[in-house]
Structure 1
Amino acid sequence: MTTNETVIDTENDTVNDTEIAANSALLVIDVQQGFDDSDFWGPRNNPAAEENIAALMDAWEQTGRPVVLVQHASRTPGSVLAPDQPGYAFKEFVAERADGAALHITKSVNSSFYGTPDLADWLTAQGVGQLVVAGIQTNMCVETTARMAGNLGYEVLVPLDATHTFDLAAGPGPGAPRLTADQLATATAVNLQGGDFARIVTTAELVTAARTAAPAAARA
């Protein structure tokens, strides 16, 4: 099963039934070069994630909606995401679009709400009530941020195909439970939508809905 074949059935509950607010904020979480190090992270899923994230960033910028970039500054010695490592930098396609971002948050934990500057304060000041959460890793910072956003009362949409993650074991021993990246992504989809934290949608649905709801000048 791939992340595009999640057990969550959105056929009769699509984002096309949801208005994309004029100030809906797109959170692009931890799309950093360090996640390209397969020796460090192991097998990943969803090779289309970067293309889909770029499509969302372009749609949000072209329709005048805010994009928030989140960057993980690891405190773990030797981490490829430590600020003194090359992997801390955004992936090139994000860096190319960074000038259009409304906010840049740095964090050292899973939730984007525990970073600098304060995300919740900024959202309140901007009157934002709807969040689209994309990025890396699906079951870590994306899921944690979406869960917290749901608890805080935001309407949260998660395009699962604009996220990816890596295979993960519960421990170092040979008998430790292990899930593939696709299994973890499916679990995230079930957790978020089944737990009423967020709705699982697709990039194509969001881009179509955003452009449909955009002013004529932005759609041109």
Structure 2
Amino acid sequence: MEKKTQLEVAGNAALVVVDVQKGFEDPFWGRRNNPEAEANIAALLDAWQGTGRPVVFVRHDSPAGSRSPLRVGHEGNDFKDFVEERRGKGAGPEVLVTKSVNSAFYGEPGLDGWLKGAGVRQIVIAGIQTNMCNETTARMGGNLGYDVLFPLDAMHTFDLAGPFGWTATADELTRATAVSLHGGRFARVVTTEDVVAAAR
């Protein structure tokens, strides 16, 4: 049996909380998975803010004139209450990054510059959606040289239809993301429990 290696979380590792917005509660998206996602995201936020580590809050701003539940000026653009209540409460540095594409690295202010300015080399990604903005941010983070931790139980996604009549459930998409990121060495797929334990 393979021995489990102890997870290490850097003293200045940044928690990147992606798109935890009210608009993702809209039936528009379909069936979701992982009902424990929000509790695990909250646990990560509490651990990060309690230890003074940096937190990045990422918000997806869809165009105001679109039909997206995440559009600017619509209540769905707001962070979910448990995230909004924690903003500004940490002992460490915090930043709000707004974006209109999948990767948090293509937002304002520039995430890569902010992280490098703070000397951060390790990031932990949590939020919504697993196989969309979270995966895209993780891939780009890995390409930019960051040590990326991806706590799979601190995120969720939705069932999805693709080409050729193919469909995939939220759980199938989650597994595919985990295998691609971990197997491809873009990120290390881990659990919230292990990350929180290592952070404390």
TM-score, length basis structure 1: 0.86
Alignment-derived partner of residue 79 in structure 2 = 90
Written as runs of structure 1 = structure 2, the 5 A alignment for 1:60-209 is 60-75=48-63, 77-100=66-89, 102-170=94-162, 176-209=165-198
- Distance change in 2, residues 1:12/1:180 (3 Å): farther
SS at match of 1:84: coil
Unmatched tracts of structure 1, length 5 or more: 1-10, 212-220
Contact 1:166 1:181 in 2 (8 A): yes
Unmatched tracts of structure 2, length 5 or more: none
CA distance in 2, matches of 1:163, 1:13: 23
CA distance in 2, matches of 1:36, 1:155: 31
Tell me which amino acid in the other structure corresponds to 2:28: F
Alignment-derived partner of residue 39 in structure 2 = 51
CA distance in 2, matches of 1:156, 1:193: 10
Deviation (angstroms), 1:19? 2.1
Which digits, 9 at most, give the CA deviation of each residue in 1:107-132, with x for residues without a partner?
Answer: 00000000000000001100000000
Contact 2:15 2:48 in 1 (8 A): yes
Tell me which amino acid in the other structure corresponds to 1:155: D
CA RMSD of aligned residues (A): 1.3
Which digits, 9 at most, give the CA deviation of each residue in 1:85-143, with x for residues without a partner?
Answer: 11000000000001136100000000000000000000110000000000000000000
CA distance in 2, matches of 1:188, 1:129: 22
Deviation (angstroms), 1:12? 4.0
CA distance in 1, matches of 2:4, 2:176: 19
Alignment-derived partner of residue 5 in structure 1 = none
SS at match of 1:98: coil
SS at match of 1:70: strand
CA distance in 2, matches of 1:100, 1:68: 13
Which digits, 9 at most, give the CA deviation of each residue in 1:188-220, with x for residues without a partner?
Answer: 000100100000000000010000xxxxxxxxx
TM-score, length basis structure 2: 0.94
Tell me which amino acid in the other structure corresponds to 1:78: R
SS at match of 2:83: helix
Contact 1:60 1:210 in 2 (8 A): yes
Deviation (angstroms), 1:13? 4.4
Tell me which amino acid in the other structure corresponds to 1:67: V
State how many pairs are aligned. Answer: 195
Where does structure 1 differ by over 3 angstroms across 4 or more consecutive aligned residues?
A: 11-14
Contact 1:67 1:100 in 2 (8 A): no
SS at match of 2:88: helix
CA distance in 2, matches of 1:153, 1:77: 35
